[in-house]
Chains A and B, each alone.
Chain A
Amino acid sequence: QVQLVQSGSEVKKPGTSVKISCRTSGYSFGAYGLSWVRQAPGQRLEYMGWVNTYFGFPIYGQGFGGRFVFSLDTSVRTAYLEISDLEAGDTAVYYCARVESPYGDSNIDYWGQGTRVTVSS
């Protein structure tokens, strides 16, 4: 069955970096996109962008360029989200989610369990 398994919770200090992984299984990796979604405490889900896993290029949503980097390791079917220069406002649960086609605007059908990132001095 389709599974997206994310790395565990992180507590980081402001100004440092964090790298979250999303290991996938149960489907053809390159046939589906992978999206990243953020949910800050008490806020709605927020689209961060997606990665075309076939060609390997990322598309960033509005407000998520610069400090946010999506990457892939296709050999282990894993996607990564790296956030640099962390700020308190980055405190959130980060989800990876499968996009049901190679195109970013298609439906999200499966989600990872979420990774909680806490930024605190």
Chain B
Amino acid sequence: QSVLTQPPSVSGTPGQRVAMSCSGGNSNIGSNYVSWYQQFPGTAPKLLIYKNDQRPSGVPDRFSGSRSGSSASLDISGLRSEDEAHYFCAVWDDSLSGRLFGGGTKLTVL
């Protein structure tokens, strides 16, 4: 399917580990690299993970990504209040010849 599905929200307490999913299909996650971005309201997205599980320099190792089949996951360990933001996945879709974006997951740190 040429759509990426993310849960609208997840929450956790400081220090906890949370995971958020991104579900797609064979033409996107199943065959191309997934990226994850963090976005605060009114600001530009920031790259957190690329090529499924790679972190750009400067991104803490508390953030990790994985892919299995046509789904991907972003894990955040040692949750901090400053992690409260929107997170979305992105991947190229071969059927559309275009980039797909997930609807985003709002992380709340309780």
A7 to B27, CA, bound (A): 35
CA distance A35 to B47 in the complex (A): 15
The count of residues in chain B whose C-beta lies closer than 8 Å to any C-beta of chain A is 23
Number of A-B contacts (CB under 8 A): 49
Give chain A's interface residue range (CB within 8 Å of chain B): 20 to 34
Residues of B within 8 A of A61 (CB): 96, 98-99
Q: Which of B87-110 contact A (CB under 8 A)?
A: 88, 90, 92, 96-104
Residues of A within 8 A of B (CB): 35, 37, 44-47, 49, 61-62, 95, 100, 105, 107-114
Chain B residues within 8 Å of A, Cβ to Cβ: 32-33, 35, 43-47, 50-51, 56, 88, 90, 92, 96-104
Q: List 23 A-B contacts (CB under 8 A).
A: A35-B99, A44-B101, A44-B103, A45-B90, A45-B101, A61-B98, A62-B96, A62-B97, A62-B98, A95-B44, A100-B50, A105-B32, A105-B99, A107-B33, A107-B35, A107-B47, A108-B47, A108-B90, A108-B99, A111-B45, A111-B46, A112-B44, A114-B44
